[in-house]
Chain A
């Protein structure tokens, strides 16, 4: 083996469910081939060794340098805030994978709570737990070369990102909405045809528009698209029968802390009052 000449890949975990790094292990057809072309130098879920094993057991800090680091999860502890800075220093390229690393994840729902009360009400012994008041994306702590969306990420998109960075090119990951993917897939618009509430118009593409193909409205697990009109979206969702509470709930899930959703509470209240006036 000429492992020394191969580009090196590292995979890191912060607060998360492991699903996005599992996506790499779900590349059943490509995994062994990838391992021939890339040195998977640090990936705790897959290997107990650092590098080719000569660097000893893999630790949380890594050894580096790495050509490409994939980072899963959000920052929720002071220790992790320090660790991501160290990982940035030893990584030539750093790509976040998934909603936690890119937007704070579902655990960012804590950002909307009264944190002191929240923590005291939850743990029998809060003093045993070290946690920050917020769950923040990796980009709030270090510069990020690319953010791959999704809760979870899409396998094909992950392979595209790895391939692109290894070939020193920009990944071909469109930032338009899920609507484009429904059209490409040939799925009839479920909002137009059935009045099903759907977040597709404001949601980042990448999943392949799975939900509408299963007679379900998009629930936004890839987060906001590049051009989104939130006031129009909220109006449409309410038109299709969602209550103001349900509209807030559906955006406050896996990408809750996305800045694009920040105007939501105002929009919902405003729309309700408009409805009352006109109704």
Chain B
């Protein structure tokens, strides 16, 4: 029922996103009064059934939260439990882990760029129709994606839910000669990745700007993927007094003091805020916070693509341009993967021992979609007594909703013909896809805080 001047728009099934979500938009007298990204994906209770499991199990079990970023879950779970057990995995084992993670970045970002996001810029419902018009770019994207999958298949055994990851490292590590064909394949797609940056940079980008905090891992000298400390970049638009694009960092152990979740009625995911404000994780945040440490080839591609100079701290706040940043990240990941393979010496053992002890540990890494945080506690024999997982999309939800509100409001305020419902829902769908939400992940967030009031 709509009353005086009120207009309700609903989109019951978001397409070309990972998982199941819906949109709800209310407009009254020319003002957007409510925007909701409704996550109805059924909950799967991961954090509940992890309790009572062995400390060796979370890498395999939590990878099943998300078929698009299983390595992110495996890497974060391993690091959190190793932190609890006082073990550091370094040297070539750490490099191999990073290689596996770059494989996932290449695969997942290429999937989003070509199959999920690019059709929006050409007015097609899917990449199949896009390929009928532009077969070359889509095939090129599939080649890059395939190279990312090849990295995961060789190092992990398979691309979805890799089997070769364990606490302390791997079950088996590759020989140098096993990695050689992989390097060859990656070298072949390096030009494809650069060509993709040029392709997406030529898309038509609507004007838009996000005003929220940006959150990403940061480690000096590295475009952080699995190391560093959570770092926040505040906007210079007055929401943070006396600070212009100021950065602040906190140890990962203090993550839950800064990022706080609330359970809202319209969602099976929890919604987070960062020190009381909306925040965004993911490619735009990483580029702003770690851009100066991009591989030189990727940095050059970013400059040529109009993203500013990452060496001097360029920030891109237009969410539509996130597709360009993702393409730049693919170039970076390909270069870094090649570097790791080139310098690889097989480690003496495929893993280090991770003996259980009564302790607690946490870790955060950069999933393709943004910062992913895990915390576990265990008994002396390794039986888990607590698990908490904060995925990127649950963190991004408030920022996505605000982004929707601003975009729709800007359209309503534009002089000329008023927008049709179809135009507005189309705009909203695009706005959501800009942030590549991973809804399966976010729906599986569970808070173990009990409110029995």
Binding site for B on A (CB under 8 A): 13-23, 25-26, 28-29, 31-32, 35, 40, 43-49, 53, 57-60, 76-77, 80, 105-107, 109-110, 113, 118, 120-125, 128-129, 131, 135, 151-152, 207, 210-211, 213-216, 219, 221, 245-246, 249, 253-254
Contacts and interface: CB of A to CB of B under 8 A. Distances in A.
Contact of A122 (B14, B47, B129): B47
Contact of A107 (B44, B126, B135, B146): B44
B130 to A, nearest CB: 10
A106 B160 contact: no
Interface in B102-149: 111, 115-116, 125-129, 131, 135, 138-139, 142-143, 145-146, 149
A152 B44 CA distance: 17
B368 to A, nearest CB: 13
Given A22-B67, A123-B446, A214-B157, A32 B13 contact: no
Contact of A123 (B15, B440, B447): B447
A197 to B, nearest CB: 13
A26 B350 CA distance: 28
Contacts of B440: 16-18
B345 interface: no
Contacts of B138: 32
A80 B128 contact: no
A189 B138 CA distance: 42
Given A122-B446, A216-B163, A53 B125 contact: yes
B65 A58 contact: no
19 contacts: A15-B41, A15-B42, A17-B66, A17-B67, A32-B139, A46-B16, A46-B127, A48-B126, A49-B125, A60-B13, A80-B42, A106-B44, A121-B450, A125-B263, A129-B43, A129-B268, A211-B157, A214-B171, A246-B54
Nearest to B266: A128
Nearest to B147: A28
A118 B48 contact: yes
Nearest to B63: A17
Contacts of B61: 106, 253
B146 A29 contact: yes
Nearest 10 CB-CB pairings of A with B: A19-B67, A47-B126, A49-B125, A48-B15, A107-B44, A216-B171, A109-B49, A28-B142, A28-B146, A17-B67
Contacts of B14: 44
Contact of B450 (A48, A124, A131, A253): A124
Contacts of B171: 211, 214-216
A195 to B, nearest CB: 15
Given A32-B142, A80-B42, A246-B54, 17 more contacts: A17-B66, A17-B67, A22-B160, A26-B159, A28-B149, A44-B20, A45-B16, A45-B18, A46-B15, A47-B16, A47-B128, A49-B15, A58-B15, A122-B448, A151-B161, A214-B171, A215-B172
Contact of A77 (B18, B42, B135, B166): B42
B161 A18 contact: no
Interface in B53-94: 53-54, 57, 60-61, 64-68, 70
A171 to B, nearest CB: 20
Contacts of B70: 17, 19
Contact of B44 (A15, A19, A120, A128): A15
A32 B135 contact: yes
Nearest to A25: B115
Contacts of B205: none
Contact of B111 (A25, A105, A109, A249): A25
B115 A17 contact: no
Contacts of A152: 67, 158, 160-161
B429 interface: yes
Contacts of B125: 47-49, 53
A103 B426 CA distance: 37
Contacts of B49: 106, 109-110, 113
B12 interface: yes
A94 B2 CA distance: 40
A128 B265 contact: yes
A109 B15 CA distance: 29
B377 to A, nearest CB: 16
A106 B53 CA distance: 13
Given A57-B15, A210-B163, A214-B172, A107 B127 contact: no
Nearest to B53: A249
B247 to A, nearest CB: 32
Contacts of B242: none
A16 B268 CA distance: 14
A48 B18 contact: no
B325 to A, nearest CB: 22
Interface string B153-170: 000011111011010001
Contacts of A58: 13, 15
B451 interface: yes
B420 interface: no
Nearest to A39: B128
B64 A122 contact: no
B57 A49 contact: no
Given A25-B111, A26-B160, A109-B45, A44 B128 contact: no
A121 B48 contact: yes
B19 A18 contact: yes
B146 to A, nearest CB: 4
Contacts of A246: 54
A23 to B, nearest CB: 6
A210 B157 contact: yes
B312 interface: no
A249 B57 contact: yes
Nearest to A154: B158
A216 B159 CA distance: 17
B449 interface: yes
B64 A125 contact: no
Contacts of A32: 128, 131, 135, 138-139, 142
A59 B66 contact: no
Contacts of A213: 157
B52 to A, nearest CB: 9
